[in-house]
């Protein structure tokens, strides 16, 4: 504990997790500009879209156009969510650098989100992994509901560990542990990570906190103390999952960066450029950033 890393990788999920839940349409051009600005701010891992059923998540139906429209920065990995083989093929056609499969530690959430049980989801992921590895593409694995489920409530840490290990053993290079509805607290986070880390080393894990209850930074501090070095976040605190009612945005990248900068932990991300990006997307969406650091720093400019 309190053995904080010197360096952390931020995985920016704003263009995907952030915009998948927007009620009003966001233009393809806005998404392209958002991704390009994030890269200019120094983010090297950007989840750019998802190749899911457009009937389920219409907000992501233009992901192919977003990938086609962005000016690529060679140091950036532009990734996409792919729930099945069809999604994988679309992601490859769009030129995604990396893909992510997304499972859950909760049976009910798995049914609501991807219309199948946990076991069936693993069967659907297998061909994605086979095809990705054959294409030389890396696959990230998400496990949702690691600190609670909108339908089942409590989820046992051992269940999180079990699903995470199964997905890692299938060939994922990293497992991102998602507190989908943000109900986690630091002690729960610790218990969950302790269970998962009996199966998977911290070097293969990431954390993905939604900030619904304002606990994300506290949980992140706990995760950093446990040796986690990869953090998912969304600029301006955008986000939510359409199949997790009440889930609010991801922890804001600006808040995470402010905290990490203050702890002397390197990320390679430039706060000033990030604030420009935050202001850009917030003005476009017509509401202020859901980030205390961004609001304070922008007001002080």
Q: Which of residues 11-70 bind Mg ion (CB under 5 A)?
A: 17
Q: Which of residues 96-115 bind ligand HMG (CB under 6 A)?
A: 102, 113-115
What is the smallest separation between the CB atom of 103 and ligand HMG, expressed in angstroms? 9
Considering CB distances under 5 to 8 angstroms, the limit depending on partner class, which of Mg ion, ligand HMG, none binds residue 84?
ligand HMG
Q: Does 53 bind ligand HMG (CB under 6 A)?
A: yes
Q: Is 145 a catalytic residue?
A: no
Binding residues for ligand HMG, total number by CB under 6 A: 26
Q: How many Å apart are CA 225 and CA 218, to the nearest integer?
A: 11
What is the smallest separation between the CB atom of 299 and ligand HMG, expressed in angstroms? 30
What is the smallest separation between the CB atom of 133 and Mg ion, expressed in angstroms? 25
- What would the two tokens of residue 112 be? 């609501």
What is the smallest separation between the CB atom of 209 and ligand HMG, expressed in angstroms? 9
First vs last C-alpha separation in the chain: 36
Q: Which is nearer to ligand HMG, 14 or 87 (CB)?
A: 87
Q: How many Å apart are CA 138 and CA 122, to the nearest integer?
A: 17
Q: Which of residues 184-223 bind ligand HMG (CB under 6 A)?
A: 208, 210
What is the smallest separation between the CB atom of 5 and ligand HMG, expressed in angstroms? 22
Q: Does 231 bind ligand HMG (CB under 6 A)?
A: no
Look-up: residue for tokens 């103390």? 225
Of 72-80, 82-90, 190-198, 215-223, which segment contacts ligand HMG by CB under 6 A?
Answer: 82-90
Residues 4-33 as x/- pattern, contact with ligand HMG by CB under 6 A: -------------x--x-------------
Q: Contact positions toward Mg ion, by CB under 5 A?
A: 17
Please list the active-site residues.
241
Q: Which residues bind ligand HMG (CB under 6 A)?
A: 17, 20, 50-53, 56-57, 81, 83-84, 86-87, 90, 102, 113-115, 142, 144, 178, 180, 208, 210, 241, 243
């Amino acid at each position: 504990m309190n053995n904080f890393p010197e360096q952390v990788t931020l995985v920016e999920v704003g263009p995907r997790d952030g915009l998948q839940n927007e009620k009003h349409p966001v233009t393809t051009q806005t998404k392209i500009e958002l991704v390009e600005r994030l890269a200019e701010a120094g983010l090297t891992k950007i989840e750019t879209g998802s190749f899911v059923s457009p009937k389920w998540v219409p907000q992501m139906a233009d992901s192919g156009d977003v990938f086609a429209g962005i000016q690529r920065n060679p140091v950036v990995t532009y990734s996409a969510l792919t729930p099945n083989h069809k999604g994988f093929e679309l992601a490859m056609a769009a030129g995604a650098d990396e893909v992510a499969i997304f499972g859950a530690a909760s049976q009910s959430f798995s049914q609501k989100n991807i219309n199948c049980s946990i076991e069936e989801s693993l069967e659907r992921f297998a061909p994605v992994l086979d095809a990705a590895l054959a294409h030389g593409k890396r696959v990230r694995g998400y496990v949702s509901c690691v600190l609670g489920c909108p339908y089942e409530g409590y989820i046992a840490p051992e269940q999180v560990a079990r699903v995470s290990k199964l997905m890692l053993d299938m060939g994922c290079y990293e497992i991102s542990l998602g507190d989908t509805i943000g109900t986690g607290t630091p002690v729960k986070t610790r218990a969950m990570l302790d269970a998962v880390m009996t199966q998977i080393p911290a070097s293969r894990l990431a954390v993905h906190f939604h900030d619904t209850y304002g606990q994300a930074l506290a949980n992140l501090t706990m995760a950093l103390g446990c040796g986690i070095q990869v953090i998912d976040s969304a600029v301006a605190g955008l986000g939510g999952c359409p199949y997790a009612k009440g889930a609010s945005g991801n922890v804001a990248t600006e808040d995470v960066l402010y905290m990490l900068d203050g702890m002397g932990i390197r990320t390679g991300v430039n706060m000033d450029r990030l604030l420009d990006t935050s202001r850009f997307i917030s003005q476009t969406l017509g509401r202020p950033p859901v980030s205390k650091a961004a609001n304070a720093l922008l007001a002080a400019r």
